[in-house]
Structure 1
């Protein structure tokens, strides 16, 4: 029975992890703009946030947070605000660089790995879908008849992180591959604009999230 739970969990996890979302889009964009290595290092921010949420779930806080509509709403609007900020900033940067002809053909100002890591952490930590993932999705696959539910939740959470990490490497790899084509500054700006618009769209979709 436990093996069946794990098989179903892993199949669902792969689909969830590969589905384009704010964090995966961020990895793709970071790799395109600054290289695969920077994008992979920045993943430490995402998985630090995931680990916090997993530990909260193991401690029983996930169910409490999901049961509290005011708390869930607060997290949701923090996520919306942060994605609006990121999307708006990307659009602003693309417009600013477009207004500087002298910079045509040159790379945008590189951001530090610490900044990229903070962005990954912020997007993951304020995303209500991550709260739903660890607070509602993981418990469905715990076999209560086998006992030691907290240990099962921890194992499931760490397994999901492994699956998500593999998916993130795919996105970063695609971004790095695109960067290897030596894209022009204009093309990179258009990609930033597309990413910014997508972030705004994701923020809009989060406003309809419910616990």
Structure 2
């Protein structure tokens, strides 16, 4: 990638990574209860999922999702079901007493499976990364390099959402405030599920 391409790629990738998608909403919600450091570690689950997606897209899974309605719909509804499950967990959480925040492994699993269940993430890689590929060079190394760079940008954007969630969560001290945070979190997860359910194969 040339310097000119890099100065276009980084801002575009940052805007893309910072958009309020399911994983960023999840990071925000998680940080309201688990705090900054624990949730930041949980982001590693998302980055691991992105790394897997880069490999899968390079191997051609994106073509399956583009050409097979059954595969796309199946993956989409798995993602919707998981987001609804998370929404129910937040909605039904007991706020009568202070409960232990999710541990890092739980946060990592949530981040990982939320991303892996979103077919738009697969297609996004093939719509965004190839714009910065040099046709005169080998494709696979370029995709891996661009994917690695995008992972760094994704991590930075995720930490912004984590910081915002930590700020809000630090003020949710009473049972009533915890209930409001939980119900609002459930609403955000439900909204993410609805958006995913309404998506199609266009990027």
**Pair in the same fold by TM > 0.5:** yes
Match of 1:171 in 2: 161
Q: CA RMSD in A?
A: 1.9
Match of 2:123 in 1: 132
Give yes or no for the alignment of 1:121 onto 2:145.
no
Q: In structure 2, which of residues 124, 133, 141 is the aligned counterpart of residue 142 of structure 1?
A: 133
Identify if the C-alpha distance between structure 1 residues 56 and 17 changes in structure 2 by more than 3 Å, giving closer, same or farther: same
Give yes or no for the alignment of 1:34 onto 2:34.
yes
Match of 1:187 in 2: 177
The answer on whether the counterparts of 2:64 and 2:71 sit within 8 Å (CA) in structure 1 is no
For structure 1, which segment, 169-178 or 15-24, has the greater mean C-alpha deviation from structure 2 after superposition? 169-178
The C-alpha deviation readout for 1:13-67, integer Å capped at 9, x for no partner, is 1111111121112112222201111101111111111111001122233233332
Measured in 1, the distance between the counterparts of 2:39 and 2:147 equals 22
Measured in 2, the distance between the counterparts of 1:192 and 1:148 equals 48
- Displacement, 1:182? 6.0
The C-alpha deviation readout for 1:77-112, integer Å capped at 9, x for no partner, is 11111111111221111xx43xx4xx2xxx223222
Match of 1:72 in 2: 72
Identify if the C-alpha distance between structure 1 residues 11 and 63 changes in structure 2 by more than 3 Å, giving closer, same or farther: farther
Work out the number of aligned pairs and report it: 201
- Displacement, 1:153? 0.9
For structure 1, which segment, 174-183 or 74-83, has the greater mean C-alpha deviation from structure 2 after superposition? 174-183
Structure 2: gaps (5+ residues)? none
- Displacement, 1:113? 1.5
Q: In structure 2, which of residues 141, 147, 157 is the aligned counterpart of residue 151 of structure 1?
A: 141
Measured in 1, the distance between the counterparts of 2:164 and 2:71 equals 36
Structure 1: gaps (5+ residues)? none
For structure 1, which segment, 2-11 or 116-125, has the greater mean C-alpha deviation from structure 2 after superposition? 2-11
The answer on whether the counterparts of 1:124 and 1:130 sit within 8 Å (CA) in structure 2 is yes
The C-alpha deviation readout for 1:101-126, integer Å capped at 9, x for no partner, is xx2xxx22322221111111110110
- Displacement, 1:139? 2.0
Query: Could you tell me the TM-score, scaled by structure 1's length?
Result: 0.86
For structure 1, which segment, 62-71 or 52-61, has the greater mean C-alpha deviation from structure 2 after superposition? 62-71
Identify if the C-alpha distance between structure 1 residues 181 and 206 changes in structure 2 by more than 3 Å, giving closer, same or farther: closer
The C-alpha deviation readout for 1:162-188, integer Å capped at 9, x for no partner, is 111001111112222334446323212
Q: In structure 2, which of residues 100, 119, 124 is the aligned counterpart of residue 109 of structure 1?
A: 100
Identify if the C-alpha distance between structure 1 residues 205 and 180 changes in structure 2 by more than 3 Å, giving closer, same or farther: closer
Secondary structure of residue in 1 paired with 2:20: coil
